[in-house]
Each structure stands twice: as structure tokens, then as C-alpha cells.
Structure 1
Amino acid sequence: MRFPLLVGTALVALALPAAASADTLRDALAKAYENNPTLTGARASQRVTDETVPLARANGLPNVGVQGSYTEYVLQSSNNFTSPDRAFSIGPQISIPIYQGGAVKNAVNAAEKRVEAGQANLRATESSIFSQAVAAYMDVIRDQALVALNRSNVDVLGVNRQATGDRFEIGDLTRTDVAQSESRLATARSQLQTAESRLISSRERYIQIIGDAPTDLQPPPPLPNLPASPQEAVTVALADNPDIEAAQITVDATRYDIRTAKASRLPQVSLTGQTGYVNYLGTIGSNTPGVSFAQSSTTGSAGITATIPIFQGGRPAAQVRQAQARSSQSMERLVETERSVVAQVRSAFASWQASLQVIQSAQVASDAAQLSLEGVRAENSVGNRTILDILNAEQEYLNAQVTLVSSRRDAYVAAFTLLAAMGKAEAQDLGLDGGALYDPQLNYDRVRNRVWDWDQDPAPAPQATTTVNTPAQNAQVTDDAASPMRTTPAPQ
């Protein structure tokens, strides 16, 4: 089964309007698509590849030039009475290739194939950047939730420590109970500091990938219509994964390289022509009275030049074998790429399914831990539970919430990674706003047939935005920072 617009139709929530003064996942992907330097650099690299086609074609086009010279004859022979003192010459030259053994045609075909492969690689880069953007987005949401949970835990343990101290003062509890409360509070504070550090790192990573600081990130949209089995996902990936497509096209290109190498054994024929004008600037003299020489002359010639290779020291054979070896290498890389994609798809599918199961278990554990905590507190109030029981119940509740939050992030990232490996998480699938999508074919069509030697593009300028002026991130979170992870849909 094919999914021609799997993400475009499945991620219908990506098309919803963004909340005021907030960032959605769709906003983040659009910014990364426009400003990420890895992606803009890959586009520039593809434009470099586009130019290989006119470069290859130029070898089959006429070569026209003009050659001029000015010469001073500073030393003359004593018995040469007609030599000029100086001369000026100028003349055009033209060479028109007629036959080069198919080298030009096959070189152009190989270059065109590599342009196609480059376009597929550009799609793969887009998909990779989007996967990184999704991971960065979800990391910030997760770490904000973890900071909020740990901060709440510190507050609760702080209250417990105060209450334990008060009860110790009246003799209701022992110093051991106080020490246990102090120990858990100190541990919670260290865990909070670790969570805050991770949040800062995640926000800085978000800036690196997206280009802007995260602002009130909203829950991500659901990811429906995911494959039902690993085999279904592999089938789609083998047909649509851009890395596999690029590797296959590269194999086709290397076959043309072999033909190009073989052309060096064949004859080469070209038409040549030149004309010249020489002016001796009135410096040709004569010792015979009444006899003069022309002070200028014009010449012209045209002909056919044929080169028939007979022996070149084994160079053609080495070039052919080299091209064949490179073709063999590209075939092996195709198999390597297929293996890698299959492994990536199956791994992402397994990770996604495992995360879904963890979500279910963690949700049950969180609900049970919350109920247990409430019960332990109630039983402690009547003397049936110790302070340590309360501390343990609070820690179990926190651990269950952390596991739930982390598993929701892992499930979403794994699901998107799966779509990316299937070749269904590219710009054309996501329907991003902000103007027309970048189409590498437009630049290729623009340059492929240009032959004017003085043609050039405007001076290069960076397309990606700098992040130097973005403020250093901190670990501040709102009171409801954990809510986006509670409402994040589990990809089914």
C-alpha cells in the first residue's frame, strides 16, 4: 500500500491556525525549512551539482577565440634586408567538435543523473532536518514538564520537611524522620537542578535547529495513518525513501561514466578554422630601388582534424577499469543504503510500539501512584504510616509521571522518525506556509542550457539566519508547563 500524501493528509492538525504568541510544531518546521543552515547549504550544494551539466556539455560546443600579438625584432641578421622591425598580428580561431567517441553525450547523461541524485539527497536532508526539529521541539516540551514536576516535588518535600520539623518540636516524630525528610528534599533539589540544566540545553538546541527561541510551545498534532506493521513500513520506504532513490540514480550515472571512459579509445574529429591579419607597421624595407614590399597581409585556413588513438600507454583501459570499479562501489552502496533504511524503519517502528506500551503502563502506574500517595497520607494522619512511607510514595508518583512524560515524547519522535524513514516527512508532505517551497528543478532548468561566458549570478549572501543575538536561555517555566505532555496525543 502506498501513502502518496501520508503526512500531508494525516497531519491535518498542522494546518490549523497558530495560537497567539505561541509556537506550534508547524511554525517550528516552517522556520527550520526557511532558515536552517544545513538545509540552505544543501540547496547551494545542489546548485553546484546543477552546473556540472553545462560544464559537460561545453566540451561538445564550438570554441571561438581571438589571438593578437605585438612583436619588436630587437636583433636582426646582418644579411637579412627585408626583415621588419616590428609587427602586429590578430586573428580569430574556431574549433568545432564533430565526433568524440560519445564522450560528451555520456558525460552529459552522467551529470544529469547526478543532478537527479542530488535532488533526492536534498529531499533526504529536508527530512533529516524536520526529524531533528521535531525532536528538538518535543525535547523542550518534555524538559519543561520535567522541570515543572521536579519543582512541584521540591515544593511538596519542602512542606513535608517543615511539617516534620514542627512535629519533631512537639515530640510527635523523631530526629530520624527529620533526617529522612531533609535527605529527600536535598535529593529533589539536585534532581531539579539537573532537569533545569537539561531544559536549558534543549532550548539552546531548539535555537540551533529552528533559528528562534521557543515561545509557549503548544502540544503537537496527532500522527495518524501510521503503518500497521514493519513490513508495510519497509515496503513504502523501499519505494519512496530519498536515500535509496539517490543511491539507485547514482548507479545509473556510473554506467554512463564507463561509456565516457571507453570513448577515449575512439577517434576524435573536429573542424578547425582560423584567419589572421599581420601589419609590419611600415618597417619592411628593400635595398632595390623602386621595389617595395606589402606592409600587411591577411591569411585564412580551414580544415578537419582527426585523431586516431593507437597506443596511449594503457591509460584508456585503466580509466575504464576505474569507472567499472566505481560503478561496482555504487552498487554496493545501494545495498548498504537499503540495509540501513530497512534497519532504521524497523527500529523506529519497534521504538514507537514500545513507547506506546510504556505510555499505557506509565499511565496506569501514575494513576496508581497518585492514589497510593493520597492513601498513605491519609493513613499517616491516623498513625498507620510513617514519614518514610510518605516520602517513598511521593518519589514513586514523581517517577511514574517522569516516565509518562518521557514516553510520550519518545513515542512521538519515534513515529515521526518512522515517517521520515518511509520518505513521507518532507516539505511537500507537510504543506508548510511562508511562500512557495524551494524547487531545485527551477535552478537546474535555469542553468542547464546557458552558454554565455559572461553570465553569472548575484554575489552570494547567507540565507540562514544567525542566532548570535538570541538571548541565553534559562530554566524558567510556567505553572502549567507539564500540561502539553499530558495532552500530547500518542501516535496510533
Structure 2
Amino acid sequence: MSGPSRGLRRISILLLAAGLSPAVHALDFADCVQDALRQNPAMLEAHAQAAEAQGAVSSAQGHLLPKLTASFSASQSNNALTVFGMKLSQRRATFNSFGANQFDPNLGAAGLSIAPGNLDHPSGYHNFGTKLQLDIPIWNGGAIRGGIDEATAMLRAAQNGDRAARQKLIFEILQAYDGVVAAQSAIEVAEKSRKAAEAYVKTSRQLLARGVIVKSDLLSAEVHLEEAQLALQHARDQRENALENLAVLIGRAKTDGLEVGAPVMPSFPQGDLQQLQAQALADNAGILALREQLKAARAGITVARAAYMPHINAMANQEWNGTGLGNGAPSYTVGGEVSWAALDFARGGQVDSARAKVQLQLAKLQQAEDHLRVQLGQAWRAAQ
């Protein structure tokens, strides 16, 4: 241990031995905000939601790109069709696979009725298959692009929600921090009131002994002292409650050693009420999040309408099939597909549901904007 560390430890031991404790470092408002933003559960939840939305965007964008799939299979069968297919895919089919060795040309047309045993009743046969397949999306009625727009809007909504959660948390910390400061001031006032009440009781007893006042005056002074003591205890309880609230917000398990610094005096915003309301509607994170959710709901209509459109996709695969792992016969397949659901009664309900979600988000947005205007007006008038 270094010399300065030994010195600090010796001073702490001397203070404890003297019945004192080292000075407690008081947290100012900035310290409280920093601690809360780092570990408050509400902020961790908001960060997780933003990360989840970012993952949804990446997933939606991935549907635009080709998908390559690799697979390996091993199978054993005595099913006639399966065995013949295995032999064809391995390029091992022979005339005897059709039962050519059982055909007797001397029987003439009657020989054509002979059932070939090799073809109808094969013995067990196995196949090892390796396959690489490339699926290429070309156009899916706008479903992929609509899904990307929907996921992107939800990401922006989550980011604004993260900002709104940050602002809300800072406001809650401000209230809790100010609560501790106010409770501390209340304790100081209650302490002075208690001391004054004690002095008044002492004076009243002396005056009663001299016959200047009556007994009821002393009793009144004692009642006032009890009220002052009760007010002091109430102020101390309020401070403990405020400290516990602040400790929870900044992520501390206990209030031991928790002290706050100087009071916080936020500056009053410039502008009249109409200007502040316009600024709030333009920049409020919660309102912006709801607007992005509305955009996501509208993109959902595009996704639902894609069921009415043709879907065009292409594919290409390369296969190796053989009786062993090292003797596979290669083959390939390329193709494209155009599909169009001519009749599907479920898709109409999906479009109606997507439109209903848009109306729901419009209602939520309008309600939030009205509430924000009223709330801001009340706060502005109270501050004035």
C-alpha cells in the first residue's frame, strides 16, 4: 500500500474512533442524471426496444437479397417409385431397372403383360444427397418494400421513444432531487420551530413560577412543542421517502451516504404559449414516436395489399446424389415462378385490419396532441 493510501486509511480510522465519519460526497443533479441514464430499468428497456427495432429493419432488408441454402440428406427405401427416382438421380438406372431381363420376345404381345420384379418390387436402396439452392426474390407485390418501410418507421418510433423515456426520466429525477432539497429545508425550519417551542416552554415555566401566567398557558406551550416535534419527525420522514425515491431512480440499493448538492433552477423557455405549443408539437419525442407508428401502420396497408398482386421469384440449385459420400452424380435445376392468387377471401380482411390500425393510430396521435397542448398550457400558466 502506498504512503498516501496508508495516510487516508489512518485518518478514516481516527475519525471512526472519534465517533465521526468521513465526509459524504454530495451528488449534484448532473451526477444523478448520469447514474440514472446508465442503469435505470426504464432506460434499459427503451434501449432494448430500439435494438429490437433495428434488428427488425435488418431482417426486413434481408428479404430483398437472395437466400442460399445448403442441405445434406441420407435415405433408405424399398418404395418402387422412390428407388427408381434414386437411381435416376444417381444416373445408375439400367434396362434391368425396368425388368428388361424378364422380357421374353418369344411370347410376342403377351410378354408385355409381365410385371417386372426389379421395377415393382425392388430391394432396399439408399441415397446420399447434397444440395445447394439459391432463391432469388424478384417482385412480391410490394410486400418486401412495404415491410422495410414498416420496420424503418417502427425503428424511428423506438428511437423517439428512447428519447422520450430519457426526457421523462430526467424530469422524474428533477422532481425527486428537488423533493430531497425541499425536505432538507423543511427539516431546518422544523428544527428552528422546535427550538423556539422549547425556549417558549422554558420561559412559560419560569413565568408560571412567578405567577405571571396561568397553568393553561404552560399547557398550550407544551402542546405547541409537541406539534413542533411531530412536524420535525414528519419532515425527516419526508426526506427519507424522497431519498428512497431518488435512490431507486439512480440505481442505488440503499440511501446510506446519499446526499444531494445545490438546488436546481431550470431556466424558463422563451416565447409565448402559442409558440411553445407549436414547438412542442413539432419536437416532442412522444408525438414524433406516434407519427412514426402511424407511418408504420400505413406501410402495413401496402403489405396487406400485396396479396392481390402477382409474385415473381427465381431459383437455382445444384445437387449431388450417390450411393456413397464421394461418388455423387451432379445435377442442376434453374427456374422461375409467377404466382397470382386469383381467389382468396382472407386477404380482404387483412386489408381492412390494416386500415383499422391506421385509424387507431390517427386517433392516438390526435389525442396525444390535444393532451400535450392542454398540459403545456396548464404548466405555462402555473409557471407564470
Same structural fold, with TM-score higher than 0.5 when normalized by the shorter chain: yes
User: Does the 8 Å contact 1:94/1:272 carry over to 2?
Assistant: yes
Alignment counterpart, residue 126 of structure 2, candidates 79, 82, 86? 86
Aligned 8 A contact 1:137 1:206 in 2: yes
Structure 2 counterpart of 1:60, from 57, 64, 81: 64
Distance in structure 2 (CA, Å) of the matches to 1:215 and 1:300: 75
1:33 deviation in Å? Answer: 2.4
With over 3 angstroms needed to count, the CA separation of the structure-2 counterparts of 1:62 and 1:152, relative to structure 1, is same
Distance 1:140 1:303, change over 3 A: same
- How far off is 1:80 after superposition? 2.7
Which structure has more relative contact order (CA 8 Å, sep 6+)? It is: 1
Gaps of 5+ in 2: 1-23, 84-115
Give the Å deviation of 1:333.
Answer: 1.1
Q: 1:322 aligns with which of 343, 347, 353?
A: 353
- Aligned 1:167-186 pairs, distance under 5 A: 167-186=207-226
- Quote the Cα distance in structure 2 between the aligned partners of 1:132 and 1:170: 56
Question: What's 2:306 paired with?
Answer: 263
1:281/1:134 Cα in 2 relative to 1: closer, same or farther (>3 Å)? closer
- Per-residue deviation at 1:73? 3.5
Counterpart check, 1:242 vs 2:285:
yes
**Residue 37 of structure 1: aligned partner:** 41
Q: Which residue number in structure 2 is paired with residue 309 of structure 1?
A: 341
Structure 1 counterpart of 2:10: none
> SS of the counterpart of 1:304?
strand
TM-superposed CA distance for 1:281, in Å, is 4.2
CA contact (8 A) 2:46 2:158 kept: no
Conserved? CA contact 2:277–2:373, under 8 Å: yes
Matched position secondary structure for 2:118: coil
Aligned to 2:19: none
Q: Work out whether residues 177 and 246 of structure 2, in 8 Å CA contact, stay in contact via their aligned partners in 1.
A: yes
The Cα of 1:228 is off from its aligned counterpart by 4.7
Q: CA deviation at 1:275?
A: 2.4
Which residue in the other structure is 1:337 paired with? Answer: 368
Q: Aligned-residue CA RMSD in angstroms?
A: 2.3
Separation (CA, whole Å) in 1 of partners of 2:144 and 2:286: 28
Structure-2 separation of matches of 1:108 and 1:216: 47
Residue 21 of structure 1: CA displacement?
A: 3.6
Distance in structure 2 (CA, Å) of the matches to 1:281 and 1:50: 45
Deviation at 1:189, TM superposition (A): 1.4
Deviations 1:108-135 (A, max 9, x none): 0121111112111111111101100110
- Residues 425-463 of structure 1, C-alpha deviation per residue, up to 9 Å, x if partnerless? xxxxxxxxxxxxxxxxxxxxxxxxxxxxxxxxxxxxxxx
The whole-number CA distance in structure 1 between the counterparts of 2:127 and 2:154 is 50
In 2, the alpha carbon distance for the partners of 1:300 and 1:256 equals 39
Structure 1 position 190, deviation (Å): 1.5
Which segments of 5 or more consecutive residues in structure 1 lack a partner in the other structure? 1-19, 283-294, 354-492
1:211 corresponds to: 251
Q: Distance in 2 between matches of 1:250 and 1:183?
A: 61
Among all aligned residue pairs of Structure 1 and Structure 2, give the percentage whose two residues are the same amino acid.
21
TM, length-normalised to structure 1:
0.61
1:273 counterpart residue number: 316
Structure 2 counterpart of 1:244, one-letter code: I
Listed as ranges, the matches of 1:122-137 within 5 Å are 122-137=162-177
State the Cα deviation string for residues 441-492 of structure 1 (Å, max 9, x = none): xxxxxxxxxxxxxxxxxxxxxxxxxxxxxxxxxxxxxxxxxxxxxxxxxxxx
Name the SS of the counterpart of 1:66 in structure 2. strand
Do the aligned residues in 2 keep the contact of 1:84 with 1:280 (CA within 8 Å)?
A: no
SS in 1 for 2:117: coil
Q: Distance in 2 between matches of 1:258 and 1:215?
A: 54
How do 1:7-18 residues align onto structure 2 when only pairs under 5 Å count?
Answer: none
Matched AA of 1:146: A
What's the CA shift for 1:203? 0.5
Deviation at 1:89, TM superposition (A): 1.5
- CA–CA distance in 1 between the matches of 2:53 and 2:225? 60
Question: How far 1:309 sits from its partner (Å)?
Answer: 0.8
Code of the residue aligned with 1:46 in structure 2: it is A
Q: Distance in 1 between matches of 2:35 and 2:288?
A: 27
Tell whether 2:329 aligns with 1:297: yes
Which of 75, 100, 104 is the equivalent residue of 2:144?
A: 104
- Rounded to whole Å, the distance in 1 between the matches of 2:222 and 2:53 is 65
Q: CA deviation at 1:217?
A: 1.6
Match of 2:226, as an amino acid? A
Q: How far does residue 224 in structure 1 lie from its aligned partner after superposition?
A: 3.3
Displacement of 1:154 in angstroms is 1.1
Structure number with greater Rg is 2
Match of 1:46 in 2: 50
Q: CA deviation at 1:257?
A: 1.2
Q: What secondary structure sits across from 2:49 in the alignment?
A: helix
Q: Does 1:350 align with 2:381?
A: yes
